Copies of this chain bind each other. A is one copy, B any other.
């Protein structure tokens, strides 16, 4: 058999073996050569094309590497590409890399923030600072998180949230899930965890993967009640201390005290999710429970998604002392997950006091935005009841009559507005993702289209 279609062009800048490779490749992918067809031997191809054997060898080597041909001992080279694969190969080689079109949607879901809410120039300054000291970045870094950031977070958490810990108790991870996997990995007690049935499915997935039984606890208006807890035999308890229960409130003092007594008496590890705990603008700021725990039963957890950019994947936790001791022994079993570049940038950002400034600005912004949204809801959305979920930066809407909210979500979509479901019977509208002007525009549009749904 001959290589029919090939004309080697010595004036072409591309190296000859690549020209040959491209040509055979095209023959195979476009069906001119089929599975099982034999290629000429290296010797005869070299003769036929008047090139060195090395050129042919290099071309065949590449085809072999890509699995387009096989070499059978004592027999020679054969095409080995199946049709389905040929299509995929063509597709990979020929489609350009296009950005998915940025469609013009108004996004009221909680997964993004208004671009104006964070000064990316300040952030860029710290990213540059770290990159300029580039020897910092030539090693993996501490799997526990960078020392500088842990030290900074220790001070920040004390000043802003009353958290009391040594910097060695802090572990930094890329996200909540990586921290939760770590907790499950270290934990040696009863694999039964109680949590609110609020739909934190990513946390539930981790507990499920690690063989935990999940018990959904009944929360009342004020959060978790001790009488509910004592019905179960828990090993761990997951609480969003900044917003829980029917009213989405921070746990008040009496409940906190009861809870602290309960975890001590029943030897339960409490995972305290202090979700945006410092982001209060309508209600009173309450410190984290961790600072009040005298019996070493609380693991404090935080992310910064809504305070900085959501795209910065960074969370941390403060291990209680007994888990910390286990962690110290097993530390080498875990890889670092958070970007070292972003960790060091955040450390310097915190050290220079930008976070406090950022939080002050966010409080103002979210106070204004939530008030605006509430006003609009009161005026134009009489068929819903509302609830401010302060630290989640959203308002929950419960339709007074209809109970499935799918129709509302679909009607919004028709207007190119994205709205999030909250459980089965409610919607969550985020006021963090848009400027005041766009927020108003979106809500007036929704008021219009949702009239038809009712």
Closest to A82 in B: B294
Cα separation A286 to B99 with both chains bound (whole Å): 32
Q: Say yes or no for A368: interface residue by CB 8 A criterion.
A: no
Report chain B residues within 8 Å CB of A138. Answer: 112-115, 117-118, 309-311, 433
Determine if B137 and A311 form an interchain contact, defined as CB atoms under 8 angstroms apart. Answer: yes
Determine if A174 and B337 form an interchain contact, defined as CB atoms under 8 angstroms apart. Answer: yes
Copies of the polypeptide in the assembly: 2
Contact code string A154-196 (vs B, CB < 8 Å = 1, else 0) = 1100100010111000000011111001001100000000000
A147 and B185 in contact, given A178-B178, A311-B141, A311-B339 (Cβ under 8 angstroms): no
Report chain B residues within 8 Å CB of A175. Answer: 174, 335-337
Q: Say yes or no for A128: interface residue by CB 8 A criterion.
A: yes
Report chain B residues within 8 Å CB of A204. Answer: 333
Report chain B residues within 8 Å CB of A97. Answer: 148, 151-152, 155, 351
Nearest Cβ on chain B to A232's Cβ, whole angstroms: 23
Nearest Cβ on chain B to A399's Cβ, whole angstroms: 23
Cα separation A204 to B137 with both chains bound (whole Å): 27
Report chain B residues within 8 Å CB of A154. Answer: 92
A111 and B99 in contact, given A291-B66, A338-B174 (Cβ under 8 angstroms): no
Report chain B residues within 8 Å CB of A433. Answer: 138
A181 and B164 in contact, given A127-B131, A147-B100, A337-B313 (Cβ under 8 angstroms): no
Question: Which stretch (A205-213, A217-225, A442-450) binds chain B?
Answer: A205-213
Q: Say yes or no for A452: interface residue by CB 8 A criterion.
A: no
Contact code string A312-352 (vs B, CB < 8 Å = 1, else 0) = 11000000000000000010111111111110000000010
Determine if A291 and B67 form an interchain contact, defined as CB atoms under 8 angstroms apart. Answer: yes
Cα separation A338 to B338 with both chains bound (whole Å): 7
Nearest Cβ on chain B to A338's Cβ, whole angstroms: 7
Q: Say yes or no for A89: interface residue by CB 8 A criterion.
A: yes
Q: Say yes or no for A1: interface residue by CB 8 A criterion.
A: no
Q: Say yes or no for A120: interface residue by CB 8 A criterion.
A: yes
Contact code string A262-276 (vs B, CB < 8 Å = 1, else 0) = 000000000000000
Q: Say yes or no for A295: interface residue by CB 8 A criterion.
A: no
Q: Say yes or no for A7: interface residue by CB 8 A criterion.
A: no
Report chain B residues within 8 Å CB of A330. Answer: 205
A158 contact from B93, B120, B137, B337, Cβ within 8 A: B93
Q: Say yes or no for A287: interface residue by CB 8 A criterion.
A: yes
Q: Say yes or no for A292: interface residue by CB 8 A criterion.
A: yes
**Top 4 A-B pairs, shortest CB-CB distance:** A112-B139, A311-B340, A65-B287, A120-B134
